[in-house]
Chain A
Amino acid sequence: MRIIVCVKQVPDTTEVRLDPVKGTLIREGVPSIMNPDDKAGLEAALRLKDSSGAEVTVITMGPPQAADVLREALAMGADDAVLITDRAFGGADTWATSCTLAAACGRLGYDIIFTGRQAIDGDTAQVGPEMAEHLNIPNVSYAAAIENCGDHLLVKREFEDRYHEVKVNTPCLITALAELNTPRYMTPGGIFDAYREKEITTWTRADLPVEDENIGLKGSPTKVVKSFPKTVKAAGMKIERGVDESVQFIMDKLKEKYIL
């Protein structure tokens, strides 16, 4: 069985701070990590590899330093890694990204594709289903559990207040939630192998069967008009007094606001 996992290198947005003076983001020194939803997809693939034997290939579209997340995936147990990198792909929105990744998957061949539900920097949660559409394969999103049954999968598909037990034929695409599983740690030996023994294949524009009008900034139906820091809600009153005074203060405010 051949499994492809799409991963993305993202800044650890829990570590990002706003410059209090300029109101802009402080991006330096923010560590880069593998997007948490994607890591869950990788773990799901590795578990299928453990239980049924499968070849797991990780792919990522990004700048050259995105190779680091591929190394991490190899260290966790993935078999192969492909870095898709080219200036031509830059500035892509989800349509262009999904076209590019779909082309890569088409070239590699697959039975199952895993993507994370959303990236913590882009947060759009679209690339997975859009890829499935380009590849004309079924997709199941919000997978909370996956069982391999040979030519099909049984997936527990989560909704807000219920779940569906879904049978889906392969080839198919599954989007994973970070809550799906607890990803395994890498092993020290796995890390050394990933950096010293294993090769990462690099594909540029020329290597992908995809049209110019579907890649990069030019191939993106959506465009950013502007970006700006959030207007910070003005801080209100803050007091540090004894318990009785604090309680009285709150009660006065609640009455003032007609909440009581």
Chain B
Amino acid sequence: MNMVKESHGVFVFAQQVDKTITNVSYELIGKAKEIAGELGTEVSAVLVGSGIKQLAQSLVEYGADRVIVIDDEELETYTVEPYTQAVAAAVRKYNPEILLMGATAIGRDLAPRVAARLHTGLTADCTALDVDKEKQELLMTRPAFGGNLMATIECPDYRPQMATVRPGVMVKRLRDKEAQGEIVLFDAGLKKNHCCVEVQNVVKHIAHKIDIQDAKILVSGGRGVGGKENFKYLYDLAEAVGGTVSGSRAAVDSGWLEKDEQVGQTGKTVRPGLYFAVGISGAIQHVAGMEDSDYIIAINKDGMAPIFNVADVGIVGDFKKILPELTKAVLAEKNSQKQ
């Protein structure tokens, strides 16, 4: 545990997989820059992997003042022990006051192990990070009680204050190709991990479509869609508007959609420009994953469905009748705009 008074700097764990920086890393640097500004300090990214030095520059271009690069064969494929050693070593050396990580399948495993090794506090799945200027500390806000309540957490006596943030929550800055920053090669003194965990095989899922978190328009279906065949109405509309189909947990559990198309607390958080909620009741578990969409249009035959409380436009009606007409109207409008 490092001394509170002497710690300074906002650190971001820059997750990379297969020598590609994960988007959430850039998002966190964006937020870190704001926090650092309020604290009068700087942003460092910690880049961990093997053969990844060349990635450091992009982190600078997205806002990092410094990149600490830990490049070692042991770090080629993620396992928790070598990565924990690497991050902990960097923290012990540089004594940051804050360390942020993405709440990804890696981050949610790595962050607690690091926090425990450093004997410090960790707050997970934060939706907001603010600075208490008087106390010069981080205020971490996260949903609790299944998303029905918000809680603001502090870590007053231990450093670094650690937080994980879900992808899609923070906003990355515009890339500045002219940006300059310090790139430091750091020897974490890694001990080869004999005892414990060995990755024998890496198998990728077959990726065949746009990640819903990257989509600008989502046409999302829930239990009310009623069946896999009915999703054709949604796919037609999505194609017409240039969007992607997603759904609620009910749709995924019923086998109408894949898990990676699920929006919600146990799925993905999305913030598209336009979100169609079709046959979705609007339970908190789903709304928590999409309520920050810029514009929400809900179509549901139940006028009392809670989704109407978050929708900008609510249409009470039968989607099977409305969507085909809407699709036609959109195509007609696009055709007329081309001329």
Contacts and interface: CB of A to CB of B under 8 A. Distances in A.
The answer to whether any beta carbons of A and B sit under 8 Å apart in the complex is yes
Interface of A: 11, 13-14, 16, 18, 25, 93-95, 98, 117, 120-130, 132-134, 137-142, 154, 158-169, 172, 175, 178-179, 220-230, 232-233, 235-241, 243-244, 246-251, 253-255, 257, 259-260
B229 to A, nearest CB: 20
Given A169-B195, A238-B303, A260-B333, 9 more contacts: A14-B283, A129-B112, A162-B204, A164-B203, A222-B154, A230-B143, A236-B311, A243-B318, A257-B295
Contact of A14 (B146, B200, B312, B326): B146
Interface of B: 17, 77, 79-81, 84, 104-106, 108-109, 111-113, 115-117, 119-125, 139, 142-158, 195-205, 207, 217, 241, 259-260, 266, 273-274, 283, 285, 291, 295-297, 303, 308-318, 321-322, 325-326, 329-330, 333-334, 337
Contacts of B156: 223
Question: By DSSP majority rule, is chain B's interface helix, strand, loop, or mixed?
Answer: mixed
A121 B156 CA distance: 24
Contact of B122 (A18, A126, A251): A126
Given A124-B125, A246-B317, A159 B106 contact: yes
Given A95-B115, A237-B313, A25 B308 contact: no
B146 A132 contact: no
B284 to A, nearest CB: 8
A246 B322 contact: yes
B242 to A, nearest CB: 10
B149 A250 contact: no
Q: Which A-B residue pairs are the 5 nearest by beta carbons?
A: A13-B146, A221-B121, A238-B314, A138-B196, A133-B116
Given A120-B146, A123-B125, A260-B334, A227 B314 contact: no
B154 A223 contact: yes
B98 to A, nearest CB: 13
Nearest to B332: A251
Contacts of A163: 202-203, 205
A253 to B, nearest CB: 5
B310 A121 contact: no
B112 A126 contact: yes
B309 A232 contact: yes
Contact of A238 (B121, B124, B308, B318): B308
Which secondary structure dominates where chain A touches chain B? mixed
B116 A95 contact: yes
Given A130-B115, A130-B116, A165-B199, A224 B311 contact: no
Contacts of A244: 325
Nearest to A16: B148
Contacts of B337: 260
Nearest to A259: B274
A114 to B, nearest CB: 15
B121 A93 contact: yes
Choose among A117, A137, A221, A230 the residue with the greatest number of B CB atoms under 10 Å from its CB.
Answer: A221
Contact of A235 (B17, B311, B330): B311
Nearest to A122: B144
B31 to A, nearest CB: 19
Contacts of A237: 312-314
Nearest to A178: B266
A221 B158 contact: yes
28 contacts: A25-B149, A95-B116, A121-B144, A121-B145, A123-B124, A126-B112, A126-B115, A129-B113, A130-B112, A130-B115, A137-B196, A141-B80, A160-B260, A162-B203, A162-B204, A164-B203, A167-B197, A169-B195, A222-B123, A227-B150, A237-B314, A239-B316, A243-B317, A250-B315, A251-B330, A253-B313, A259-B217, A259-B273
Contacts of A226: 151-152
A154 B198 CA distance: 10
A142 B311 contact: no
B316 A16 contact: no
Contacts of A13: 145-148
Contacts of A117: 108
B150 A229 contact: yes
Nearest to A98: B116
Contacts of A14: 146, 283, 285
Contacts of A238: 303, 308, 311, 313-316
A253 B241 CA distance: 14
A13 B119 CA distance: 30
A35 to B, nearest CB: 11
A235 B149 contact: no
B193 to A, nearest CB: 9
Given A25-B149, A228-B149, A253-B297, A159 B105 contact: yes
A257 B295 CA distance: 9
A159 B312 CA distance: 34
Nearest to B309: A235
Contacts of A254: 274, 330
B309 to A, nearest CB: 5
B243 to A, nearest CB: 10
